[in-house]
């Protein structure tokens, strides 16, 4: 037997009739053609096909109970926005996570749009239903003591002095100035901080001014003094072993090693240093507007997440230290 290529395997999976197809011939045909379209046009993997089909079949089983009979393609074309919202409420009552429910609704929209493109069924009501909002994530910063322990540990990871100095400079910059990893790795030698402030090009090519601690300048100067590769003004500030731009993955690996050595949680990533910068400023009396400008957030609501972090820390301290809390 000749082995199949990945494309052939996907095509065979799309053509195979999945178990549990509804009895309505028009709906069965729509599902089969949708699967073929996902494979041929979207390059969907077998795993993706399985997930999408599962989402669709959950919906069809709901409709069987909701309508009192196995649904037909015509039934799907007559559903209203209220019917789709009833499905969302049903799945929410089953305890499905909002992120999973959002994916399920995206699957349904994709199926309906595919049917519309193929001229099989048209129902714009599904586009009137919004996806449930995903849960608002709270930044996971390092404690101040952990952040201060990370900085010297980074310099001990490499036996090559200039690489150790480079990694120390990068991590010090991320924590000391609150930069995104992409912003830091996008700096050129000419962009390096030489005074008390530095201009940073952030998201949407929006420029901002950030203050620079002496420790940050000293770490970068020490790295450049050891860097073995030429450092013309337009070259990347942070380079890899061969002199090309340093990849974000290398910075992530550095933090992975630090996590292992210090026993830090998996949330201790390069981006967590930016969270730590903001949270520690807020904890020491920094105001939200200033922190918003330093981080380059377009909306204050994004920065306000750090007040939730600080409140959680205060509650943790209270619960562990207050006599009445311990008694409770």
CB atoms within 10 A of CB 19: 7
| DSSP classification of residue 241 | T
88: nearest Cα among 70, 105, 71:
105
Sign of CA dihedral 284, 286, 287, 292: negative
- For residue 225, what are the contacts with CB-CB under 8 A and spacing of at least 6? 165
- Distance (Å, rounded) from C-alpha 50 to C-alpha 53? 5
Active site residue ranges? 180, 203, 271, 274, 297, 306
The first and second tokens of residue 96, run together, are 């499905």
Q: 68-99: string of b/e by CB count within 10 Å (b at 16+)?
A: eeebbbebbbebeeebbeebbeebeeeebeee
Helix (H) or strand (E) holding 104: helix 98-117
- For residue 15, what are the contacts with CB-CB under 8 A and spacing of at least 6? 32, 36
The first and second tokens of residue 30, run together, are 């729509």
Dihedral angle at the C-alpha atoms of 22, 27, 33, 34, nearest 10 degrees? -90
Q: How far apart are the first and last CA of the chain?
A: 69
Cα 11 to the chain's mean position, in Å?
31
């Amino acid at each position: 037997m000749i082995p199949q290529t990945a494309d052939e395997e996907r095509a065979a999976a799309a053509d195979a009739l999945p178990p549990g197809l509804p009895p309505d011939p028009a709906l069965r045909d729509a599902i089969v053609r949708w699967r073929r379209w996902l494979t041929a046009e979207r390059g969907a993997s077998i795993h993706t096909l399985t997930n999408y089909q599962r989402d669709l079949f959950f919906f069809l089983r709901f409709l069987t109970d909701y309508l009192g009979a196995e649904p037909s393609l015509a039934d799907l074309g007559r559903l209203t926005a209220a019917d789709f919202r009833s499905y969302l409420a049903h799945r929410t009552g089953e305890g499905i996570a909002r992120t999973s429910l959002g994916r399920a609704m995206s699957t349904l929209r994709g199926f309906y749009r595919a049917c519309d493109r193929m001229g099989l069924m048209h129902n714009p009501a599904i586009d009137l239903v919004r996806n449930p909002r995903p849960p608002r994530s709270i930044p996971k910063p390092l404690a101040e003591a952990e952040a201060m322990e990370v900085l010297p540990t980074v310099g001990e990871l490499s036996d090559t002095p200039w690489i150790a100095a480079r990694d120390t400079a990068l991590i010090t910059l991320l924590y000391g100035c609150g930069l995104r990893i992409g912003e830091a790795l996008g700096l050129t030698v000419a962009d390096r901080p030489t005074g008390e402030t530095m201009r940073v090009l952030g998201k949407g090519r929006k420029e901002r001014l950030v203050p620079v601690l002496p420790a940050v300048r000293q770490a970068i100067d020490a790295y450049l003094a050891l860097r073995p590769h030429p450092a013309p003004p337009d070259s990347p500030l942070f380079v890899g072993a061969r002199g090309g731009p340093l990849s974000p993955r290398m910075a992530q690996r550095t933090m992975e090693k630090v996590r292992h050595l210090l026993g830090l949680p998996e949330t201790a990533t390069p981006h967590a240093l930016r969270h730590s910068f903001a949270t520690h400023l807020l904890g020491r009396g920094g105001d939200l507007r200033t922190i918003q400008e330093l981080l380059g957030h377009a909306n204050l609501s994004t920065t306000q997440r750090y007040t939730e972090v600080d409140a959680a820390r205060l509650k943790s301290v209270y619960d562990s230290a207050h006599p009445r809390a311990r008694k409770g």
